[in-house]
A and B are shown apart, each in its own frame.
Chain A
Amino acid sequence: DAGVIQSPRHEVTEMGQEVTLRCKPISGHNSLFWYRQTMMRGLELLIYFNNNVPIDDSGMPEDRFSAKMPNASFSTLKIQPSEPRDSAVYFCASSLGQKDPLHFGNGTRLTVT
């Protein structure tokens, strides 16, 4: 089991640029989550997919953020345009079912200058 795979591990970009984060969930897991973690705010849920369908995106900060899950094995989180306040560690997680624990990827550390 390869676990949840995220790429890139680190991303440094300039303000105004587009950023795309990628995630491959564990095979067979039906739910996928995108979280953002900062020292100030802890782990914040951005969006939650179940069976590739977005269930709740109320945590997405604003229209600059978008997420897609075109199939069961791939999801993207896009920020366009990026801003310095978007700097954080972004985690993708998946779970087998709706009462099961989450399994996290290694995260993407995003720095926007």
Chain B
Amino acid sequence: QKEVEQNSGPLSVPEGAIASLNCTYSDRVSQSFFWYRQYSGKSPELIMSIYSNGDKEDGRFTAQLNKASQYVSLLIRDSQPSDSATYLCAPRRSGGSYIPTFGRGTSLIVHP
């Protein structure tokens, strides 16, 4: 089993819709969870972090974490064409020599 799994997509949604991006991870000791957005030809940029079970909202973005199910998701409300990018999930364990691992990412396309 891969450490971090994401549907590669592309996920295509109409402008104004809710985009739902999912991620499962295998390391039960992961404590921090990050979502990065990567535009084509650019570097990944952090958009959300979540550390506790439940939901965390920031503007149009909501991250949801369920540690028991080893599942983290990102919801984007009122999707805009500017949200079109690849979204990378990255769980991280604190301490030791744990290597932060990124999923392959989900490509999101928001069409007008």
Contact = CB atoms under 8 A, between A and B. Distances in A.
Contact of B97 (A42, A56, A91, A107): A56
Contacts of B85: none
Given A91-B43, A99-B32, A103-B46, A55 B97 contact: yes
A48 B90 CA distance: 16
Given A98-B94, A99-B32, A104 B43 contact: yes
B26 interface: no
A105 B45 CA distance: 9
Q: Which of A43, A55, A56, A100 gathers most chain B CB within 10 Å?
A: A43
A59 interface: yes
Size bracket of the B interface: 20 to 34
Contacts of A48: 97, 99-100
B105 A33 contact: no
Given A99-B92, A101-B46, A104-B43, A45 B99 contact: yes
Interface string A74-113: 0000000000000000010000011111111111000000
Given A98-B95, A104-B44, A107-B43, 19 more contacts: A33-B100, A43-B44, A43-B102, A48-B99, A56-B99, A58-B99, A98-B94, A99-B92, A99-B94, A99-B95, A100-B32, A101-B32, A101-B34, A101-B46, A101-B49, A102-B44, A104-B43, A106-B42, A106-B43
